[in-house]
Amino acid sequence: MQPMNDLSFETALDERVEDMLDACTRCGKCVDVCPSVKPAGIGAASSEDIISGVLDIVRSGEGPEASRKWAASCMLSGECIKACDYGVNPRFLLAMARLAITKTESELPDRRRWAWKGTAVSAAM
């Protein structure tokens, strides 16, 4: 790992994502304790399959519907972080999964336009 002052933000973020992907054992404990699972309608899916799908989404932008629903329904409770025995931050991985989904579903100019409109609306409030 390079010294932080020599890293761009994107490089540092990519390294953190890779570290999390490597550390995750896909045990599913994070999914088991998550209060978002039932409201998302994915309670019947295997917790191991859901977290494995999230990792696939982070890597490629593609993954099973249950994993996409879990990423979209995150309530930021942090219960998943406390449940992990390996120092993985599943909440961070869910945020990276949402980002990967967004990247696969829209082109960069559209994302920039959406971000600008969101900023303009926030600034007006």
pLDDT digits (tens, 9 = 90+) for 93-107: 999 999 999 888 766
pLDDT band at 118 (very low <50, low <70, confident <90, very high): low
* Residues 80 and 71 sit within 8 Å (Cβ to Cβ): no
Q: How far apart are CA 34 and CA 32, in angstroms?
A: 6
pLDDT (tens digit per residue) in 2-21: 555 677 888 999 999 999 99
pTM of the entire predicted model: 0.79
Average pLDDT value for residue range 106-112? 64
The answer for 74, left when phi > 0, alpha when psi is -120 to 50, beta otherwise, is beta
In angstroms, the CA 38 to CA 114 distance is 30
Helix or strand or coil: residue 52? helix
**pLDDT tens-digit profile of 28-86?**
999 999 999 999 999 999 999 999 999 999 999 999 999 999 999 999 999 999 999 99
Higher pLDDT, 83 or 110: 83
- Give the pLDDT of residue 123: 44
pLDDT at 105: 79
